[in-house]
């Protein structure tokens, strides 16, 4: 390679130190888009709605209520967990799918992809930046729900010691730590779905199609996970361990499901990122 | 060190299925030239340009862009290449300057410290400074085109690739693009400009290549191409036979009698010699015309169809 | 890079290799650790049984997974709550965490999705907690009862472990081939296996394998295989096992504020959530012997009383009989010289509910059930 460099008549233009400018630009692009802002507002509205609904209903949620609802009146922190549980089924995957499905297909659809590539942005770098923005968005969406839920919960129901699923109590600070752990875990789980979305986004020039396909992927994963006849498939399903975030609320914490979930999330993230690269690195950009 | 050719391809071919959009072309764009890349719509110009920029992988053939092999090392070449490919494309909900900011942020060779100044200069150069803060959505087609050119000018370039730069521009805008190309050329930038409108680029090009159904039917300096078709000398006089005889003696070929005089192909004969010889022979020359074929006529001959002059 | 530039499709190998590596990473690691371990010394079946009886650990903790794939038709149960319908008891899996320290401290937690049921024993206190109901039941163990119940092996039997083992083996040898293996691995630990193979080919049970931890001699897994099957139809075993005394804090339980708390005594009528309904029809009758034994019984005519009393008391045990009639009607109908009824056919056992209110069941093919009915 060095010999070739010597004979190359045109000197290479020096690359500057890696800087966060492009990532920052990517995040601004995502967050300043009105559609995405509206999505985040909807995500944040759910915990508020839950808290107000529980507060304004005279009777306590019974044992048939969704998980964590009963505990809301005891401790406002559970608004976060209840909202995360509710939104994990559709809203959060949808939000991540919207961002990740748009990542490449959106730029291709607008035609901006060809201008980014001729700037130039190396294709692997573009995928890396896009995925980094997806991961950051996953954290942002999850923590937004958790923080809004905690705030409204503490206002309406107050805090105090937190009752774990095992029936024992831990301090409020420890409980806060558990909720933060759960939010981190779910963020990483959603980020792995984002890798799937990124891959699908390289297959098409229609961002909406990529988003829908990504939501279908996560929903199909949920559905298959609930069909006992295919239980052999369950440990490999992307969403199989998502609900294991509840294991962080046990005393002591049951790490098995969470560790498996993280391994699965990392695996899906890596495999689908590589698949996105395999597809995109040699793809003809004709849009 | 003599500068290499800015672009060189060998046997460049792109097939989509069984259809060859580009079929074995050997493109040579000398450094410092203004290369008019001409051909009707659908003749393979844009596919070729996309291959030069690494957007499309060739089916066969080799490309060197500023001395770097493409697509393997395209990332090394592109920082010195400005490109406008198949019309402008930007994020509609960002302002013009924000769109440029994004492209500048994506450029690892651009200096963040000078970003603001460079953005301003590029916008000034295309006359968009006043509309920089407007959302791209609200831009007219002409403004969009200018923004795309501004984006290509954010950093100094050795090669500008302009694919149909005058599309959607009014005559005034077209003139501005021409003068922009001229000023780029003055700065020493090589320009590869594609067009299906011959008249727009004819005046500024030093080199010309013509595409027809995926093939490069001719290529060379503008002077060479003109020389391929010989000029004819028309002499109007009341003594056509005399005039024809003088012209034959001078060595003109294909000499014919016309209602008003005679006409013949000049070949290597200088036009002024024809006039002198006629006058010496005592002919009353009422009119003398040297009719060099326009590029338009040459291309009609090469491609079998005219360029769209209405668009 | 140049290779990929020339052959772009080769890029797809990269994610495929990643899939292969990631999927096999777990099993490769297991193989490496397993092969690195010294093989266990050989033990006879009798020796193993003695080992098991002599096994004493000060404490342990671990995770137990029970899974069953009994080949039953999917039974439409009450929707939603996954652990409360009958089909989930015979298919799917359940995860338990267990802790024990000495004879007086133990805790079992049944992990549900975003829920948990615990049974915690600490000395003479027993707490039963359900996060779903937000309820805690407190039981007191009488000072004398607790010990004998928990620890003493069945009384009035052979006095030494060796004798007990010999007696047990003598009892089953006529019907069962007993062998041992020492290649099992349970929860990442080497284990012996006691392999029971029925001699009678008429039973659906192919093999029962009981794994015994090589170091602590605690039984760590039971697997039941259907005849000819490679995968167990029923399995319960440790997936993680730690033979050291857990921290005493895991046995400490104080009902959280806001929880419903009820009190009771062990041995009282209401103590066990797993208690069978008392009105269980006529006394069952056994036909045949050994592995092909068929149980014959008459169904209780009404289940109303028991379901009414028990509903809302414990979510997991809610009215198993209440849905029974509806479920039976959905099973395939069969008929023969013995009459007609509905057949539940699994890989390990068959159950026949006749239209005249009899139930016959056994680890045999349905033909044996028909024969047993005809023999009445």
ipTM reported for the complex, 2 dp: 0.88
* Separation in Å, CA C119 to CA C99, C126, C131, C237: 11, 7, 12, 19
Coil, helix or strand at residue A160: coil
Does the structure show a pLDDT above 60 at A7?
A: no
Does the structure show a pLDDT above 50 at B65?
A: yes
* pLDDT tier at A84, thresholds 50, 70, 90: very high
Does the structure show a pLDDT above 80 at C266?
A: no
> What ranges do the domains of chain A cover?
23-280
- Asked if the Cβ–Cβ distance from B72 to C8 is below 8 Å, we say no
Any CB–CB contact under 8 A between C3 and chain B?
no
Does the structure show a pLDDT above 60 at C203?
A: yes
Q: Which two tokens stand for residue C200?
A: 């009678």
Give me the pLDDT at residue C200, please.
85
Asked whether the beta carbons of A228 and C74 are under 8 A apart, the reply is: yes
Q: How many CB atoms lie within 10 A of CB B137?
A: 12
C45-261: CATH, from 3.50.50.60, 2.50.20.10, 3.40.50.11540, 3.30.500.10: 2.50.20.10
Q: What is the DSSP string of B26-73?
A: --EE-TT-EEEEE--TTSSHHHHHHHHTTSS--SEEEEEETTEEETTT
Q: What is the DSSP string of B256-295?
A: EE-SSEEEEE-TTS-HHHHHHHHHHTT--EEEEEEEPPPH
Does the structure show a pLDDT above 80 at B299?
A: no
* pLDDT tier at A129, thresholds 50, 70, 90: very high
Q: Over the stretch B251-268, which tens digit does the pLDDT of each residue have?
A: 888 888 888 888 888 877
* pLDDT tier at B228, thresholds 50, 70, 90: low
* pLDDT tier at C231, thresholds 50, 70, 90: confident
d(CA B70, CA B220): 23
d(CA B70, CA B76): 9
Does the structure show a pLDDT above 50 at C314?
A: no
* pLDDT tier at A243, thresholds 50, 70, 90: very high
Give me the pLDDT at residue C274, please.
45
Q: Which two tokens stand for residue C80?
A: 């939603």
Q: Which two tokens stand for residue C247?
A: 């921290």
Give me the pLDDT at residue B261, please.
86
User: Which of A6, A19, A109, A115 best probes binding to B when mutated, by most B CB atoms within 10 angstroms?
Assistant: A115
d(CA C8, CA A280): 10
Q: What share of chain C is helix, strand, coil (3-state, %, to 5)?
A: 30, 35, 35
Which residues on chain C are in Cβ contact (under 8 Å) with B72? 1-2, 5
Helix segments in chain C, DSSP class H: 2-6, 13-36, 45-54, 86-90, 143-151, 161-172, 304-310, 324-330, 366-374
Give me the pLDDT at residue C144, please.
60
Is the four-CA dihedral B122, B127, B131, B135 of positive or negative sign? negative
Give me the pLDDT at residue A188, please.
98
- Asked if the Cβ–Cβ distance from A110 to B55 is below 8 Å, we say no
Q: Over the stretch B203-227, which tens digit does the pLDDT of each residue have?
A: 889 999 999 889 998 899 888 877 7
Helix segments in chain B, DSSP class H: 45-52, 74-77, 96-106, 115-125, 141-152, 171-186, 198-202, 222-228, 240-250, 271-280, 295-303
Give me the residues paired with residue C119 across strands: C108, C128
Does the structure show a pLDDT above 90 at C89?
A: no
Which residues on chain A are in Cβ contact (under 8 Å) with B53? 114, 117-118
Does the structure show a pLDDT above 90 at C259?
A: no
* pLDDT tier at A128, thresholds 50, 70, 90: very high
d(CA B266, CA B274): 9
Name the residue of chain C whose CA is nearest to B70's CA.
C5
Which residues on chain B are in Cβ contact (under 8 Å) with C1? 72
* pLDDT tier at A107, thresholds 50, 70, 90: very high
**Nearest by Cα to C248 from C100, C45, C353:** C100
Contacts of B15 (CB under 8 A, 6+ apart): B21, B59
Q: Over the stretch A13-54, which tens digit does the pLDDT of each residue have?
A: 677 777 789 999 999 999 999 999 999 999 999 999 999 999
* Domains within chain B, CATH numbers bracketed: 7-226 (3.40.50.300), 231-292 (3.30.70)
Asked whether the beta carbons of A162 and A75 are under 8 A apart, the reply is: yes
Asked whether the beta carbons of A237 and A224 are under 8 A apart, the reply is: yes
The CA distance from C96 to the nearest CA of chain A, in Å, is 11
Does the structure show a pLDDT above 80 at C71?
A: no
Coil, helix or strand at residue B132: coil
Does the structure show a pLDDT above 50 at A256?
A: yes
Q: Which two tokens stand for residue C99?
A: 């802790």
Among chain B, residues having any CB pair with chain A shorter than 8 Å are 1, 3-4, 50, 53-57, 66-68, 74-81, 83, 85-87, 89-94, 101-103, 105-112, 148, 151, 158
Q: Over the stretch C283-294, which tens digit does the pLDDT of each residue have?
A: 788 888 788 888
Q: Over the stretch B101-134, which tens digit does the pLDDT of each residue have?
A: 999 999 999 999 999 999 999 999 888 999 999 9
Asked whether the beta carbons of C144 and C153 are under 8 A apart, the reply is: no
**Nearest by Cα to A88 from A63, A67, A59:** A67
d(CA A68, CA A84): 10
Coil, helix or strand at residue C176: strand
- The separation between CA C276 and the C-alpha centre of its own chain, rounded to angstroms, equals 17
Which residues on chain A are in Cβ contact (under 8 Å) with C119? none
Mean pLDDT of chain C: 77
Which residues on chain B are in Cβ contact (under 8 Å) with A13? 76, 79-80, 109
Q: Over the stretch B152-196, which tens digit does the pLDDT of each residue have?
A: 999 999 999 999 888 878 888 888 888 889 999 999 999 999 988
Give me the pLDDT at residue A13, please.
64
Whether a cis peptide bond, with omega within 30° of 0, leads into A120 is yes
Domain with CATH 2.50.20.10 in chain C: 45-261
* Separation in Å, CA C373 to CA C201, C205, C312: 20, 21, 37
The CA distance from A131 to the nearest CA of chain B, in Å, is 15
């Amino acid at each position: 390679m060095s010999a070739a460099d010597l004979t190359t008549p045109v000197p290479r233009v020096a690359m500057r130190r890696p800087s966060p400018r492009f990532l920052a630009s990517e995040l601004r692009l995502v967050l300043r888009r009105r559609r995405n802002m509206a999505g985040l507002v909807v995500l944040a509205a759910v915990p508020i709605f839950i808290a107000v609904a529980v507060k304004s209903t005279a009777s306590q949620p019974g044992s048939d209520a969704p998980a964590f609802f009963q505990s809301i009146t005891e401790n406002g922190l559970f608004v976060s967990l209840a909202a995360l549980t509710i939104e994990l089924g559709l809203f959060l995957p949808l939000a991540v799918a919207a961002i990740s499905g748009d990542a490449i297909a959106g730029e291709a659809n607008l035609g901006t992809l060809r201008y980014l590539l001729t700037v130039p942005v190396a294709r692997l770098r573009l995928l890396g930046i896009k995925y980094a923005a997806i991961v950051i968005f996953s954290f942002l969406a999850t923590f937004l729900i958790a923080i809004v839920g905690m705030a409204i919960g503490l206002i309406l129901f107050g805090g105090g010691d937190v009752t774990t699923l095992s029936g024992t109590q831990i301090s409020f600070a420890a409980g806060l730590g558990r909720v933060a752990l759960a939010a981190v875990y779910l963020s990483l789980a959603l980020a792995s779905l984002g890798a799937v979305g990124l891959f699908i986004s390289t297959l098409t020039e229609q961002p909406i199609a990529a988003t829908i396909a990504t939501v279908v992927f996560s929903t199909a994963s949920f559905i298959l996970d609930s069909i006992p006849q295919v239980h052999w498939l369950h440990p490999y399903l992307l969403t199989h361990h998502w609900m294991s975030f509840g294991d962080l609320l046990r005393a002591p914490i049951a790490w098995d499901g969470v560790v498996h979930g993280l391994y699965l999330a990392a695996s899906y993230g890596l495999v689908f990122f590589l698949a996105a690269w395999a597809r995109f690195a040699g793809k003809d950009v004709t849009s | 060190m003599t500068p290499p050719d800015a672009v060189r391809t060998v046997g460049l071919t792109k097939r989509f299925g069984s259809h060859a959009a580009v079929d074995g072309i050997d493109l040579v764009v000398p450094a410092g030239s203004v290369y008019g890349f001409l051909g009707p719509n659908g003749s393979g110009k844009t596919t070729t340009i996309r291959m030069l920029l690494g957007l499309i992988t060739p089916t066969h053939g080799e490309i060197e862009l500023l001395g770097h092999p493409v697509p393997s090392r395209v990332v090394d070449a592109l920082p010195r290449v400005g490109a406008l490919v198949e019309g402008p494309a930007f994020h509609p909900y960002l302002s013009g300057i924000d769109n440029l900011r994004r492209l500048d942020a994506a450029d690892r060779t651009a200096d963040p410290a000078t970003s603001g100044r460079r953005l301003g200069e590029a916008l000034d150069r295309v006359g968009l400074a006043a509309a920089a803060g407007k959302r791209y959505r609200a831009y007219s087609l002409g403004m969009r085109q200018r923004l795309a050119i501004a984006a290509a000018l954010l950093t100094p370039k050795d090669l500008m690739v302009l694919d149909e730069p005058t599309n959607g521009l009014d005559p005034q805008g077209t003139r501005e693009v021409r003068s922009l190309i001229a000023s780029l050329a003055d700065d020493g930038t090589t320009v590869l400009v594609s067009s299906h409108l011959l008249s727009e680029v004819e005046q500024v090009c030093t080199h010309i290549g013509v595409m027809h159904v995926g093939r490069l039917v001719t290529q060379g300096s503008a002077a060479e191409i003109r020389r391929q078709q010989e000029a004819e000398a028309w002499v109007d006089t009341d003594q056509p036979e005399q005039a024809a005889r003088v012209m034959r003696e001078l060595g003109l070929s294909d000499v014919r009698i016309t209602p008003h005089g005679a006409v013949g192909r000049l070949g290597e004969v200088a036009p002024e010699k024809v006039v002198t010889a006629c006058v010496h022979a005592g002919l009353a020359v009422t009119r003398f015309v040297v009719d060099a074929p326009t590029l338009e006529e040459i291309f009609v001959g090469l491609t079998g169809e005219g360029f769209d002059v209405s668009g | 890079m140049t290779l990929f530039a020339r052959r772009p499709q080769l890029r797809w190998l990269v994610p495929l290799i990643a899939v292969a590596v990631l999927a096999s990473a777990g099993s490769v690691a297991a193989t490496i650790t397993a092969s690195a371990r010294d093989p266990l010394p050989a033990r006879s079946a009798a020796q193993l049984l003695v080992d098991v009886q002599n096994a004493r650990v000060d404490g342990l903790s671990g995770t137990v997974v029970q899974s069953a794939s009994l080949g039953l038709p999917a039974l439409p149960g009450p929707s939603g709550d996954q652990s409360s319908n009958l089909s989930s008891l015979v298919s799917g899996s359940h995860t338990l965490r267990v802790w024990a320290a000495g004879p007086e401290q133990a805790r079992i937690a049944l992990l549900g999705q975003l829920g948990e049921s615990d049974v915690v024993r600490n000395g003479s206190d027993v707490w039963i907690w359900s996060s779903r109901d937000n309820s805690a039941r407190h039981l007191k163990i009488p000072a004398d009862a607790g010990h004998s119940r928990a620890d003493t092996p069945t009384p009035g039997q052979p006095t030494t472990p060796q004798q007990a083992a010999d007696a047990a083996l003598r009892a089953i040898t006529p019907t069962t081939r007993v062998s041992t293996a020492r290649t099992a691995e349970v929860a990442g630990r080497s284990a012996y296996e006691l392999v029971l193979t029925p001699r009678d080919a008429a039973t659906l049970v192919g093999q029962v394998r009981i794994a015994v931890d090589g170091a602590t001699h605690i039984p760590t897994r039971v697997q039941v295989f259907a005849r000819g099957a490679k995968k167990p139809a029923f399995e319960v075993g440790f997936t993680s096992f730690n033979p050291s005394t857990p921290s005493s804090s895991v046995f400490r339980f104080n009902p959280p504020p806001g929880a419903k708390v009820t009190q009771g005594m062990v041995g009282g009528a209401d103590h066990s959530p797993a208690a069978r309904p008392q009105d269980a029809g006529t006394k069952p009758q056994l036909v045949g012997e050994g592995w092909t034994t068929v149980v014959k019984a008459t169904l209780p005519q009404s289940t109303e009383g028991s379901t009414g009393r028990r509903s809302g008391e414990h979510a997991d045990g809610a009215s198993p009989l209440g849905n029974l009639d509806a479920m039976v009607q959905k099973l395939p109908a069969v008929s023969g010289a013995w009459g007609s009824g509905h057949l539940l056919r699994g890989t390990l056992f068959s159950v026949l509910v006749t239209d005249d209110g009899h139930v016959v069941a056994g680890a045999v093919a349905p033909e044996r059930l028909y024969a047993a009915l005809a023999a009445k």
